[in-house]
């Protein structure tokens, strides 16, 4: 692992920095997608309740 990083001209410190940045961005993306998903599910359940109560 370390040899391939050295060949790529990437020090271990830089690798961990990049990995941490990537993990943080992935976390934000997951939070954003889950927020979108939750709001859509809530909206869908509200519409379903309205539809069922209208019957």
* pLDDT per residue of the chain (55 residues) written in tens, 0 to 9: 666 656 666 688 888 898 899 988 999 889 888 888 888 888 888 888 988 898 7
State the Cα–Cα distance between residues 16 and 14, nearest whole angstrom: 5
The verdict on pTM exceeding 0.85 is no
How many alpha carbons fall within 13 Å on the CB side of residue 21? Answer: 6
Residue located via tokens 């040899």: 3
Give backbone dihedrals phi and psi of 10, rounded to 5 degrees, phi first.
Answer: -120, 120
């Amino acid at each position: 692992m370390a040899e391939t990083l050295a060949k790529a001209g990437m020090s271990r410190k830089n690798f961990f920095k990049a990995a941490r940045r990537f993990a943080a961005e992935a976390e934000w993306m997951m939070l954003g997608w889950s927020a979108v998903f939750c709001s859509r599910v809530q909206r869908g359940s509200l519409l379903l309740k309205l539809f069922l109560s209208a019957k």
